[in-house]
């Protein structure tokens, strides 16, 4: 039940219900009330002091068996909901919807394209790709959960002179057998060596450009090598995507749009948007406080902007999206401002539906990375290390546990994902193994352990459906209130493109359940109370599983 709407509909103020509902908030202390209406913003509209408005609204509010009290305190109207009613409605809803609890059909009939991960062919899948990959995947799951049709797009970096460099390096120093055996790491070693040698012999750069031209000209040998490098990359990254529960509907990379660039350039020219600048073709954006957007280089070659313009047009024509999200680091803010402005100038009214979901950078505690110089931290190594550390902790805490390796994998992978999603997306993250694997901190390990605890309680006490309770103690009510907030949390997370809301919610619910678990007897309580507390435990487990599932994190039954 949406208590905010219920309360707002009965507030006797000459204001829209939606406006009242949007102002209602949760007081910091439950003793004050369950919902609070601040009257300060109403003072200007109603031309009265906030304290007087609060007193009048509280006095005129029609309490009933649901909202049992309305009181005025320092410019706020505090509302109290009947505890037993709130508990019964919340638990009944969770048991009716189960794995769909928190979902909705608000996005029905709407397609949302989500461009995320976008790895580069023949370059390592390193920790710098972590945020875009798991953030994009979480947004995909959130949209799907709320009824949208998400289209996950891996816009592969599969075009450019780096492939000429790889072909040059492979023909000079490579060995097919070693590359097949070493995969992406062997390819990256060749890429690093090319840059080391090119510093001594700059003519190698010309050779690389010549080899890339051969790819463009469809030279049989060069194209075959390009596709081989691509296959090796997708094979390697596919394994990591599987571990992270990340999936895509389209793998159309930059090369896919090369034959789609012409019509876009022609349209820019026809609309008088292209001007020449030092031999290059650009769109002048000075009037909008931005440098020119380069469309074609002086040699006629396309650039990222050109291919992104073609991709945006293709996606609109193919998917007729409601929105198109680009999950790309904040360093590309200018790129996307330019891209969206050019599409707007082209008269694409859907340019307003393009959104850059910017995020901060991820690094390890020992510093940053450089692909060209070989200073790179492979994401697979980070995952493996987390799984290894999780296994050591589990073996110490519960040596008799069966399937320790499989459970450690679920815990370790979950720790990596949660570590990237717990903070607001725009913040830079320094990844710490000890922090993400802390079983008592604000981590997925803590939430997973809480799920295992709830599972254990249910295995001993059995599952119950007693959603009614004659009296609700404070610890029980804190859990109930948190459970009831899940649908709104999911909605807010999607609306603001912040999966961290769901991650933090899971930690808060786990903390409230654990306080209840330690303060209140469950299995030895009087029968009616026991049945209600078992139901509360199962509702918590269902909701925590749903929350972690939206982040791409599994839940082991035992830990």
**Number of neighbours of residue 518 by Cβ within 10 angstroms:** 8
Residue 450 placed within a domain: yes
Q: What is the pLDDT of residue 441?
A: 84
Residue 361: pLDDT over 70 = yes
Tell me how far apart the alpha carbons of residues 133 and 129 are, in angstroms, rounded to a whole number: 6
| Cα torsion angle, 546, 552, 558, 559, sign | negative
- Nearby residues of 468 by Cβ (< 8 Å), 6 or more positions away: 84, 87, 88, 532
Q: What CATH number does the domain containing 59 carry?
A: 3.30.1360.70
Following DSSP, what letter does each residue of 357-408 receive, concatenated? EEE--EEETTB--BTTTTB--BHHHHHHHHHHHHHHHHHHH-TT-TTHHHHH
Mean pLDDT is lowest, of 256-270, 297-311, 444-458, for 297-311
Mean pLDDT is lowest, of 30-39, 307-316, 529-538, for 30-39
Mean pLDDT of 167-183: 92
Q: What CATH number does the domain containing 459 carry?
A: 1.10.730.10
Residue 26 placed within a domain: yes
Q: What is the pLDDT of residue 96?
A: 95
Mean pLDDT is lowest, of 95-109, 122-136, 486-500, for 122-136
CA 387, distance to chain mean position in Å, is 22
Range of the domain at 508: 380-424+433-551
Q: What is the pLDDT of residue 202?
A: 92
Residue 314: pLDDT over 80 = yes
Residue 1: pLDDT over 80 = no
Out of 64, 81, 98, a domain closes at 81
Mean pLDDT, the chain, whole residue set:
92
Confidence band, pLDDT 50/70/90 cuts, at residue 24: very high
Q: How many residues does the chain have?
A: 559
Q: 3-state SS string over 163-214?
A: HHHHHHHHHHHCCHHHHHHHHHHHHHHHHHHHHHHHHHCCHHHHHHHHHHHH
Out of 27, 55, 81, a domain closes at 81
Residue with tokens 């026991």: 530
Q: What is the pLDDT of residue 217?
A: 84
Residue 296: pLDDT over 60 = yes
Confidence band, pLDDT 50/70/90 cuts, at residue 375: low
161 in Cβ contact with 208 (< 8 Å): yes
Out of 43, 58, 81, a domain closes at 81
Residue 401 placed within a domain: yes
Q: What is the pLDDT of residue 366?
A: 65
Residue 395 placed within a domain: yes
Residues 317-341 have pLDDT tens digits of 999 999 999 999 999 999 999 999 9
Mean pLDDT is lowest, of 180-194, 374-388, 521-535, for 374-388
Mean pLDDT of 279-290: 95
pLDDT above 90 coverage of the chain, percent: 74
Residues 26-38 have pLDDT tens digits of 888 888 899 999 9
Residue 362: pLDDT over 60 = yes
Residue 371 placed within a domain: no
Residue 515: pLDDT over 60 = yes
Residue 539 placed within a domain: yes
Residue 103 placed within a domain: no
Mean pLDDT is lowest, of 300-304, 406-410, 516-520, for 300-304
Residues 105-142 have pLDDT tens digits of 999 999 999 999 999 888 878 888 999 999 999 999 99
Beta strand 354-359 with 362-364 is unpaired
Residue 491: pLDDT over 90 = yes
The residue that leads in pLDDT, 123 or 505, is 505
Which of 411, 410, 422 is closest to 502 using CA atoms?
A: 422
Q: What is the pLDDT of residue 29?
A: 81
Mean pLDDT of 404-408: 95
558 in Cβ contact with 455 (< 8 Å): yes
Q: What is the pLDDT of residue 160?
A: 83
Residue 68 placed within a domain: yes
Residue 254: pLDDT over 80 = yes
Residues 427-484 have pLDDT tens digits of 888 878 888 888 888 999 999 999 999 999 999 998 777 778 878 999 999 999 999 9
329 in Cβ contact with 396 (< 8 Å): no
Structural domain tally of the chain? 2
Residue 368: pLDDT over 70 = no
Residue 183: pLDDT over 80 = yes
């Amino acid at each position: 039940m949406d208590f905010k709407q219920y309360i707002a509909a009965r507030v006797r103020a000459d204001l829209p219900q939606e406006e009242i509902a949007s102002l209602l908030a949760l007081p910091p202390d439950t003793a004050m009330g369950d919902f609070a209406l601040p009257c300060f913003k109403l003072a200007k509209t109603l031309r009265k002091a906030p304290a007087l408005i609060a007193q009048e609204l509280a006095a005129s509010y029609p309490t009933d068996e649901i909202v049992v009290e309305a009181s005025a305190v320092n410019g706020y109207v505090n509302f109290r909901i009947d505890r037993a009613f709130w508990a019964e409605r919340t638990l009944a809803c969770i048991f009716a919807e189960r794995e769909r609890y928190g979902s909705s059909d608000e996005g029905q009939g709407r397609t949302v394209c989500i461009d995320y991960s976008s790895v580069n062919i023949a370059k390592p899948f390193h920790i710098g790709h972590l945020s875009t990959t798991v953030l994009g995947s979480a947004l995909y799951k959130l949209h799907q959960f709320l009824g949208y049709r998400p289209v996950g797009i891996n816009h592969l970096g599969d075009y450019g002179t780096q492939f000429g460099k790889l072909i040059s390096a492979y023909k000079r120093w490579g060995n097919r057998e070693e590359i097949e055996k070493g995969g992406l790491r062997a390819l990256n070693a060749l890429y690093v060596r090319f840059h080391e040698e090119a510093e001594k012999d700059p003519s190698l750069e010309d050779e690389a450009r010549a080899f890339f031209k051969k790819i463009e000209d469809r030279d049989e040998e060069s194209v075959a090598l390009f596709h081989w490098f691509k296959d090796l990359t997708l094979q390697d990254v596919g394994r990591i995507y599987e571990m992270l529960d990340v999936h895509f509907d389209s793998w159309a990379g930059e090369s896919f749009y090369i034959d789609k660039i012409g019509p876009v350039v022609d349209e820019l020219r026809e609309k008088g948007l292209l001007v020449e600048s030092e031999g290059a073709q650009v769109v002048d954006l000075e009037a909008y406080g931005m440098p020119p957007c380069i469309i074609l280089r002086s040699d006629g070659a396309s650039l990222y902007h050109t291919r992104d313009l073609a991709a945006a047009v293709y996606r609109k024509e193919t998917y007729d999206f409601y929105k198109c999200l680009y999950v790309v680091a904040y360093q590309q803010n200018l790129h996307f401002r330019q891209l969206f402005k050019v599409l707007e100038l082209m008269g694409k009214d859907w340019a307003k539906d393009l959104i850059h979901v910017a995020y901060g950078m991820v690094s390890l505690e020992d510093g940053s990375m450089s692909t060209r110089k070989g200073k790179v931290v492979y994401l697979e190594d980070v995952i493996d290390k987390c799984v290894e550390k999780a296994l050591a902790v589990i073996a110490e805490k519960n040596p008799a546990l069966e399937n320790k390796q499989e459970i450690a994998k679920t815990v370790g992978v979950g720790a990596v994902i949660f570590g990237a999603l717990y903070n607001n997306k725009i913040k830079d993250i320094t990844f710490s193994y000890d922090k993400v694997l802390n079983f008592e901190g604000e981590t997925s390990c803590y939430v997973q352990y809480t799920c295992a605890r709830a599972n254990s309680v249910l295995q001993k006490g059995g599952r119950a459906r007693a959603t009614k309770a004659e009296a609700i103690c404070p610890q029980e009510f804190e859990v109930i209130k948190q459970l009831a907030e899940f649908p709104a949390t999911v909605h807010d997370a999607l609306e603001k493109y912040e999966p961290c809301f769901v991650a933090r919610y899971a930690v808060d619910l786990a903390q409230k359940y654990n306080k209840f678990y330690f303060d209140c007897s469950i299995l030895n309580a009087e029968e009616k109370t026991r049945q209600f507390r078992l139901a509360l435990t199962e509702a918590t487990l269902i909701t925590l599983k749903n929350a972690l599932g939206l982040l791409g994190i599994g839940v082991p039954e035992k830990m």
